[in-house]
Chain A
Amino acid sequence: MHKVTKAIIHIWISLASMAAFVFGWAVFAHAEKPAPLVVQQTPSVSVVPTLEPIPSIDELVRSSSQSMQFFQNPNFSPPRLRARGS
């Protein structure tokens, strides 16, 4: 084959490859992104609670004489239903 023809074919293949690559890149870059594994939903600031100390029986007894009388009364027995965890 003539040298010039060979060179033209080489240039043609190179240009076609580059064009195909650029075209593919453009298509994928603008395609819809796959859905994330876990959908992140940022809750609105107004509904995000902060954590606060919650009074236990010990703290109630320390902070209130009424609680002290109630929980330290020998007649007080804790409810039979128990949140005991597993």
Chain B
Amino acid sequence: MEFDEFSAMNSVIQVAAEGNSEDLQPGFALVRQFIAHSEERFSRFLPSSELNRLNQSAGRWFQASPVMFELIQEALDLYVLTEGLFDPSIMKALVHAGYDRSMDEIRRMDSVPISSIYIDQRIPLEEIRLDSSGYAIRLPVDMQIDLGGIAKGWVAARAANLLIQYTDASTVSVGGDMVFVGLPAGQPAWQVSLEDPRDEQRVLAVLNVGPGSLATSTITRRRWIQGDQARHHIIDPRTGAPAMVSWLSISVYTEKATYAEAFAKALLIAGPTGAAALAARLPNLNFIAVRQDGSLVGTPASKELIYAPGYER
């Protein structure tokens, strides 16, 4: 297995593929190029990105790329499917909570400034207008979109599929979003370390995953201090503030990367009382959540994901 690791999209990118290094180098280079190009399209921290141009055009029709159009359409579907717990229009709330610059910049600061004015206007997502004949999008006036994780999931899936022309098995991880295509030679599954959200050096479990997507969302990595308040980036759309969550992290395994990512956020917000019912809305979805004490809980079938020599299930 050959690896390539680098930073992009404010995240750690991990790429792995079966084969020899020489054959895979063009594939790794292609993935790097694709991810750099995607960052220019989806980043809210690059003024000229397509996402920023879309947000600046709120109230008017915007001619989007087919890719942006597809993701916005998917975001709307996921909003309904997650009962509103995944909501791409929380950007103003995120900025108000202090996430108004890249995480690299925030990590260099002791405390981010408190925003002065914020009116939580709750513009219904249904007011976004889509014209599929010309890939045109009209956001309501004052609505701002942050595709965040689902863009990363989409990028991971496309990148892993780009790489597959150079190999029989590839995986790409963009931040918390991992996509697996094919299987390592002679192996029944990919093996993945489930990191302890309290201590990134520790591994809580070894997961066996087949082709599909594994998205992990946590409140312990993208966090900061605003004034004297601890903040994190998981915004509860119902309150417009960082969510009060019981679990430290959650890993969702399902077929599609964008769905895994959106459900990871939604299930983390839903927590122990609501996650099981919400997860049942998507067939073939399993998740493992990490409690405050490091113990694991999840859907019954998620036990099958655990690599457990000698353990009787």
Contact = CB atoms under 8 A, between A and B. Distances in A.
Interface of A: 37-41, 43, 47-60, 63-67, 69-71, 78-86
A60 B296 CA distance: 12
Nearest to B12: A84
17 contacts: A38-B79, A38-B80, A47-B283, A51-B289, A52-B303, A55-B308, A64-B312, A78-B206, A80-B16, A81-B178, A82-B195, A83-B192, A84-B176, A85-B197, A85-B221, A85-B249, A86-B149
Contacts of B203: 57, 78, 82
A66 B311 CA distance: 8
A65 B214 CA distance: 30
Contact of B296 (A49, A54, A64, A85): A54
A57 B202 CA distance: 10
B81 to A, nearest CB: 9
Nearest to A39: B80
A44 B134 CA distance: 39
Nearest to A41: B281
Contacts of B80: 38-39
A54 B276 contact: no
A60 B311 contact: yes
A38 B191 contact: no
B249 A49 contact: no
Interface of B: 3, 11-12, 14, 16, 79-80, 83-84, 124, 126, 149, 152, 171, 173, 175-178, 190-195, 197, 200, 203-207, 214, 216-218, 220-222, 249, 251, 272, 275-277, 279-281, 283, 288-289, 294-303, 306, 308-312
A80 B3 contact: yes
B301 A83 contact: no
A66 B310 CA distance: 5
Contacts of A52: 297-300, 303
B135 to A, nearest CB: 26
Contacts of B190: 81
- For the complex of A and B, list the 9 residue pairs with the smallest distance between their C-beta atoms, beginning with the closest: A66-B310, A85-B218, A86-B175, A64-B310, A86-B176, A85-B216, A54-B296, A78-B193, A79-B191
A47 B312 CA distance: 24
A64 B277 contact: no
B207 to A, nearest CB: 7
A40 B274 CA distance: 14
A83 B300 CA distance: 20
Contacts of B197: 85
Contacts of A53: 295-297
A37 B25 CA distance: 48
B297 A86 contact: no
Nearest to B283: A47
Contacts of A51: 272, 275-276, 289, 297-299
A83 B217 CA distance: 9
Nearest to B308: A60
Given A38-B79, A86-B176, 9 more contacts: A38-B84, A49-B276, A51-B297, A63-B311, A67-B311, A79-B193, A83-B178, A84-B200, A85-B176
